Structure 1
């Protein structure tokens, strides 16, 4: 999880503007937020990250597959597995 936080921060620092943010950024961000929400759900993190993780997952799902109806966070998890196998 810490490597994803570092990658996200470095990516944003290097981006000249937010219009440069690509699918990989949104996928990795949604995956990171999903992991934080899982910790929050287990009581290992402070706050309520579930709504933020859900919103990030919905954004990615709408970006990839507009109109697709499924669990957005499960979609992010499947896409992460696919991305990790191919990168």
Structure 2
């Protein structure tokens, strides 16, 4: 748990506390005037929200082997360039890179897999956001691509979407 202090105008305080509550699990808000009386000091106790994304073991339980996915992704790149299966390509590529990054992190192997996984996740989110996918589309998990939690944790968004996609296969 930690405490956040914000100094702002009294009219900005409600919007700021709302944004903090959307980002963290927050306690009671305490508000006091500053010494000059023109602004307010807002104090909020907060803590990180527990992860609500599917655990990698759950999201990727039915996934093909990493080697198989590397082959599919290499073949799928051609189709993606021609506008075929664009979302599936980016979903599977992002999931593949996430799995590689997780393995690297688990074994403390240095490399750029985590950066590439993040970039691929953001690309998938851009595609989903541009397509306006919501509860009736692929992005039918609890968190849409533009949700603050998705923006904060793009790889979690990939796990959510992959678990839903693979479950439909």
- TM-score, length-normalised on structure 1? 0.82
Richer in strand (by share): 2
Q: Report which of the two has the higher share of helix.
A: 1
Unaligned runs of 5+ in 2: 1-65, 130-144
1:80 aligns with 162
1:58 deviation in Å? 0.9
The match for 1:50 among 90, 98, 114 is 114
Which of these residues, 9, 31, 56, is aligned with residue 74 of structure 2? Answer: 9
Structure 2 CA distance for aligned equivalents of residues 10 and 19 of structure 1: 12
Measure, in 2, the Cα distance between the counterparts of 1:85 and 1:12: 23
The correspondence for 2:128, drawn from 49, 64, 72, is: 64
Q: Does 1:24 align with 2:53?
A: no
On the 8 A contact 1:53/1:73 being kept in 2, the answer is: yes
> What root-mean-square deviation, in Å, do the aligned CA atoms of Structure 1 and Structure 2 show?
2.0
Flag the 1:46–1:6 CA change in 2: closer, same or farther, 3 A: farther
Gap regions ≥5 residues in structure 1: none
CA contact 2:77–2:89 (8 Å) conserved in 1: no
The alpha carbon displacement at 1:44 in A equals 6.0
TM-score of the superposed pair, with normalisation by structure 2: 0.45
- SS of 2:107's equivalent in the other structure is coil
Distance in 2 (alpha carbons) for counterparts of 1:46 and 1:73 = 18
Q: What's the CA shift for 1:61?
A: 1.2
Partner of 2:104: 40
Query: Whose radius of gyration is greater, 1 or 2?
Result: 2
Residues 24-76 of structure 1: CA deviation (Å, up to 9, x unaligned): 00000000000011111122655221111001101111211353322110110
RCO comparison, higher one (Cα < 8 Å, 6+): 1
